[in-house]
Amino acid sequence: MAVGRLGDRVLELVEGEGVLEQTVRAVLRMRQEVVERIEELHRLVLATTKADPVCRRLMSVPGVGPLTALAYRTAVEDPSRFRKSSHLGAHFGLTPRKYASGEVDRHGHITRCGDRMARSLLCEAAMVLLARVQRWSWLKRWGVQIAQRRGARRAQVAVARRLAVILHRIWVDGTEFCARREEISRLSVA
């Protein structure tokens, strides 16, 4: 049973304790089984996204990994359902809730309707883009500017909403993400 350093240390501490040692060994075996299943699922997700050309194109966007691409693909299913790419923000619940009554017209938190997992993975991809991705792109610059003006949380949601739109366009057009605006204009002219 390969339990790692934590397991070895725990077994060392409960050695000779009878029932406690048996219980800990059972828990460590279960932990090892869970770790193996997670690794198996991870390999399956990687193989699925590698075999799918749409997922490979979606992963060309910085911050979007295999799980986000696969979740987005399954949540959207058919990109032709959406006449405009901008409708994807509302589909995933990434648009501000609006309250309007008489003289009051207020924008609130996001609506949180739609696929919860896809929304959370888009937000995670946005945070990765803003905080972890080292290479600058027009999307990262835009998100950082929003973060400076409005705060990190609003920038994260704005970038996640924009990612949903960009991923839809990539899927529909069959293109890949362009890191610089000059590349986009050059491609549209050609």
Mean pLDDT of 112-117: 88
- 32-64 confidence digits (pLDDT tens): 999 999 999 999 999 999 999 999 999 999 999
The answer to whether residues 2 and 32 touch, using CB atoms and an 8 Å cutoff, is yes
Place of tokens 């290479």: 135
Query: Taking the CA atoms of the chain, what radius of gyration do you get in angstroms?
Result: 22
The DSSP bridge partners found for residue 106 are 99
pTM of the model: 0.82
- Which H or E run contains 142? helix 138-150
- 5-25 confidence digits (pLDDT tens): 888 888 888 888 888 889 988
In this model, does residue 136 exceed pLDDT 60? yes
| 3-state SS class at 135 | coil
Q: How far apart are CA 72 and CA 66, in angstroms?
A: 10
The per-residue pLDDT of the chain, averaged, comes to 89
Annotated domain spans of the chain: 4-48, 53-189
The answer to whether residues 65 and 122 touch, using CB atoms and an 8 Å cutoff, is no
